[in-house]
A and B are shown apart, each in its own frame.
Chain A
């Protein structure tokens, strides 16, 4: 019996349940609680009426006590095990619903237009124009860059603001407030000391490699941003690469060095400039487009570095925002300030 139970314990289903419950076995708690109990009735031997009466009284009293016990037990049960059982039931229902959703989605996927088929509804006149005339209309050799920064630029404007708003939320959450800790800089100092513990103390290997790698990484980031309209890449990927370079520099040389060129103020000013430039230039382009005015932005010669109208400049703006935001995320998570 014990062996079967052990086997059962190790089979996949209870392990799955335990995974759901985060370790403790739900089945154990909910099911194996009160199974062992058995009601033991007092036997009633024959005797005279009084004795029997007394016995009956005794039995009633016992029953009453049992009942009270049972009530309190039920209450205790509903408070501890019952809640657990309800939770277990909830979880099982939720898993069933989730499996149902997966099954439904699989069915849907089976009914969808076939994979890799050129005649799918998605390959219609929209993508035809993007591919066949995109280079002439936007000036970007990279059709995707032309699409997100010119044809569908409103999305991308919203998207850079998503990044900005996330940075602001993280600032609200994690930035150590000077007001809260007030004049006593103890907390601030403590935080810094705390940070120093994790900071590599003049790790020579890291520093040498970083001093060699960081310029390369930054240069590569700039290359990706500047060539966003000619080759794969663009503001988002290039900005992320540059952010990674800055983070590597920070890890090798510590906050003292990075604070000389990158502080909270830098972050604010760069974000403000980049986002404002983005919003203003796109507002101009939207306005002229909607009112059918001619705009001074021209696609230029496709393939040149400075071509494709506003796209390279927008890529630079986006790249700066992404780079600053990535670096800001890292420093805020690590130290609570920049």
Chain B
């Protein structure tokens, strides 16, 4: 139990919450996408914090030193790399969807778009 030694994780969690709320509740598509990006970035921040070990350097072998005590944990770094590519792809897809919706309905407000779609149906 330590509210006082996990600052990085706390910050990541708060960011995650903000992103989550924005993604879920905001009506504006662009803000939704920003929220999604924040949420994912928060997770990567969390991962990066988890990989860090006090006083050790990045996991690239220097001068042939290969002891566990010299380098930080390389696994979270790899996971972040994979995760970033996934979130870039999803962001591109969401932006493309937004562009199409905007071209057709001339608004970014998802509720208004839904209302217009309903009107079209009738």
Residues of A participating in the B interface, judged by any CB pair closer than 8 Å: 20, 22, 91, 94-95, 98-99, 101-102, 105-106, 108-112, 114-118, 120, 122-123, 126-128, 130-135, 141-144, 147-148, 152, 155-156, 159-160, 162-163, 165-167, 169-170, 173-174, 231-232, 234, 236, 302, 322, 329, 332-333
Set of chain B residues within 8 Å of A322, measured between Cβ atoms: 85
A143 and B61 within 8 A (CB):
yes
Q: In the bound complex, how far is the Cα of B22 from the Cα of A94, in angstroms? A: 11
**Contacts A114-B2, A142-B60, A173-B96; A102 near B82 (Cβ below 8 A):** no
| 11 pairs, A vs B, C-beta closer than 8 Å | A22-B28, A106-B14, A114-B6, A117-B53, A122-B50, A126-B75, A131-B66, A131-B68, A148-B81, A160-B85, A174-B96
A110 and B85 within 8 A (CB):
no
A144 and B54 within 8 A (CB):
no
| Secondary structure of the B contact surface, majority rule | helix
Q: In the bound complex, how far is the Cα of B112 from the Cα of A99, in angstroms? A: 26
Chain B, Cβ-Cβ closest to A128? B68
B24 and A115 within 8 A (CB):
no
**Contacts A95-B21, A170-B96, A333-B99; A163 near B89 (Cβ below 8 A):** yes
A165 and B89 within 8 A (CB):
yes
**Contacts A106-B13, A110-B6, A117-B53; A132 near B109 (Cβ below 8 A):** no
B60 and A333 within 8 A (CB):
no
A112 and B6 within 8 A (CB):
yes
B38 on the A face (CB < 8 A): no
Contact pattern, B 21-33, Cβ under 8 Å of A = 1, otherwise 0: 1001111100000
B100 on the A face (CB < 8 A): yes
Pairs A-B, 3 closest by C-beta atoms: A102-B17, A166-B89, A143-B59
Contacting B9 at CB < 8 Å: which of A99, A102, A109?
A109
B78 and A152 within 8 A (CB):
yes
Contacting A162 at CB < 8 Å: which of B6, B58, B85?
B85
A110 and B86 within 8 A (CB):
no
**Contacts A110-B3, A118-B53, A173-B97; A102 near B74 (Cβ below 8 A):** no
Within residues 50 to 87 of chain B, which ones have a CB less than 8 A from any CB in chain A? 50-54, 56, 58-61, 66-71, 73-78, 81-82, 84-86
B85 and A132 within 8 A (CB):
no
B109 and A112 within 8 A (CB):
no
Contacting A132 at CB < 8 Å: which of B24, B27, B67, B82?
B67
**Contacts A102-B17, A117-B54, A232-B58; A144 near B6 (Cβ below 8 A):** no
Contact pattern, B 1-12, Cβ under 8 Å of A = 1, otherwise 0: 111011111101
B20 and A98 within 8 A (CB):
yes
Q: In the bound complex, how far is the Cα of B21 from the Cα of A101, in angstroms? A: 10
Kindly state the interface size class of chain B when it binds its partner.
Answer: 35 or more
Closest Cβ of chain A to B38, distance in Å, is 13
A22 and B27 within 8 A (CB):
yes
Residues of B participating in the A interface, judged by any CB pair closer than 8 Å: 1-3, 5-10, 12-14, 16-18, 20-21, 24-28, 49-54, 56, 58-61, 66-71, 73-78, 81-82, 84-86, 88-90, 92-93, 95-97, 99-100, 109
Set of chain B residues within 8 Å of A128, measured between Cβ atoms: 68
Chain A, Cβ-Cβ closest to B101? A173
Set of chain B residues within 8 Å of A118, measured between Cβ atoms: 53-54, 56, 69
Q: In the bound complex, how far is the Cα of B66 from the Cα of A130, in angstroms? A: 10
Q: In the bound complex, how far is the Cα of B26 from the Cα of A156, in angstroms? A: 33
Q: In the bound complex, how far is the Cα of B20 from the Cα of A101, in angstroms? A: 9
A115 and B74 within 8 A (CB):
no
A163 and B85 within 8 A (CB):
yes
A127 and B99 within 8 A (CB):
no
A108 and B13 within 8 A (CB):
yes
Q: In the bound complex, how far is the Cα of B62 from the Cα of A302, in angstroms? A: 12
